[in-house]
Amino acid sequence: MIAEFWPLAVFLFVLFLLLGSGVWIGLALLGVAFVGMELFTTRPVGDAMMTTIWRSASSWSLTALPLFIWMGEILFRTRLSEDMFRGLSPWMARLPGGLLHTNVVGCTVFAAVSGSSAATLTTVGKMSIPELLRRNYPEKMVIGTLAGAATLGLMIPPSLTLIVYGVTINESITKLFIAGILPGLVLAAMFMGYIAVWSRFSPDYHPDPDPAMSLGAKLANSRFLIPVLMLIALVIGSMYLGFATATEAAAFGVLGAMVLAFAQGSLSVTTLGDSLMGAVRTSAMIALILAGASFLSLSMGFTGLPRALATWIGSLGLTKFQLLMALLAFYIVIGMFLDGISSVVLTIAVVEPMIRQAGIDIIWFGIFIVVVVEMAQITPPIGFNLFVLQGMTRHEMGFIARAAFPMFLIMVVMVFVLIVFPELATWLPDNMRTRPGG
């Protein structure tokens, strides 16, 4: 048994050596795969690398990734966050917890047109943080709820993490998107429930009261939500009704975002160029990680390591629940050091045989893994949302991590909700119309 797993020690040693030296994650994965191919196979490394990287980059499903990123970049440069706050705040003010709910609802709405946790956090945070602090809401709660709610960008479609998972595991992107809708809404509701309970019992909650508004005034302010809701309906509705694949829906989303930016007066040659270059940089980073992960999967496959590990796990006689708990702990630990996309592509070659052997639904597991890697966004020392918030608020990392910790615990609870009620992730995909190529 030890002889079967010693290649794993080599892979991990080289990986952490490269990552610790500051090498980009994508290049580190390629380096580990190169060493593995040289040590454990007789196949020409150059030919294998060239073929694998080309195959990973030429996936049609992957086309949706840069398009959704571009859509989010365009919207990031509009007045969307201001309009969302104006439209949402009259309805949130009278709820227990008041305008803190705008963090959750705003992030939920923007997540449905962004796909990126960082973009969601930055867009909503740049408007909500100063507004909520000006109204005397507790800063720790403002930061914590924003950090947690922004992770919804990883789950609610269009989710970049789900695109990467679907391409890596060869599953329908459209089905994964649809599977993320109900769990994303349930998680948002859990965040809002926590805010309501906290506001009732915390001695620190004493915001300035908002002036009362008539129903007519609330409805008038709600008109600012119409453009983004129409864009959400266009992107998600076209996929759910079977009119478009994920890639086609992404193209519709880019066109819709351009129309929205033009209508707001935010679309200029400079804005368009900045959004395009932002999308290119992010897409290139993810493509390099995917290429490295694909080559690493091939290298590990030649060693027989994934199959041996899956066989070993199967020999332990773990139940599905025990296996999921082991994977939960595993992803929480690696999430402290890697971002969500890197965690998925780095581990899926080993994890996929395990979950298939255990009879776990691939679509359901995609949502499970997204919830778990969401936690990585708010766990130190490498939680990306924590870094973004640190740059926005100038607070110490420890302060922001403590503020976000209750949201981390809520995500852990969400994992158990998914295990008890798997239909949350499987009912919509099982009852949707799809087009080939989704």
pLDDT digit string, tens, across residues 409-430: 999 999 999 999 999 999 988 8
Assigned domain for 15 exists: no
Assigned domain for 395 exists: yes
Inform me whether the pLDDT recorded for 331 exceeds 90: no
309 or 33, greater pLDDT: 33
What mean pLDDT do residues 132-150 have?
A: 90
| DSSP assigned state of 172 | -
Assigned domain for 213 exists: yes
What domain range is 134 assigned to? 27-430
pLDDT digit string, tens, across residues 396-409: 878 888 999 999 99
Residue 271 tokens read as 């804005």
Q: Are 373 and 343 in contact (CB under 8 A)?
A: yes
Share of the chain above pLDDT 90, in %: 13
DSSP 389-425: HHHHH---HHHHHHHHHHHHHHHHHHHHHHHH-THHH
So what's the pLDDT on residue 409?
A: 93
Between 71-85, 182-196, 199-213, 355-369, the lowest mean confidence (pLDDT) is in 71-85
So what's the pLDDT on residue 425?
A: 92
Assigned domain for 419 exists: yes
* Amino acid residing at 428: L
So what's the pLDDT on residue 269?
A: 87
7 or 425, greater pLDDT: 425
Count of alpha carbons within 13 angstroms of residue 375, beta-carbon side: 24
Assigned domain for 19 exists: no
Total residue count of the chain as it appears in this document: 438
Q: What is the mean pLDDT of the chain?
A: 81
* Closest CA relative to residue 51, chosen from 303, 291, 352: 291
So what's the pLDDT on residue 339?
A: 67
In sequence order, what are the residues at sequence separation of 6 or more whose Cβ sits closer than 8 angstroms to the Cβ of residue 171? 165, 362, 363, 366
pLDDT digit string, tens, across residues 266-325: 788 888 888 888 888 877 877 777 777 777 767 776 766 656 666 676 677 778 898 899
Assigned domain for 135 exists: yes
Confidence of residue 1 (pLDDT cuts 50, 70, 90): very low
Assigned domain for 2 exists: no
177 or 10, greater pLDDT: 177
Q: Are 297 and 340 in contact (CB under 8 A)?
A: no
Q: Are 165 and 370 in contact (CB under 8 A)?
A: yes
Residue 119 tokens read as 């973009």
Structural domain count, the chain: 1
Assigned domain for 59 exists: yes
| 135/93 Cα distance (integer angstroms) | 11
Q: Are 363 and 171 in contact (CB under 8 A)?
A: yes
DSSP 303-321: HTHHHHHHHHHHHTT--HH
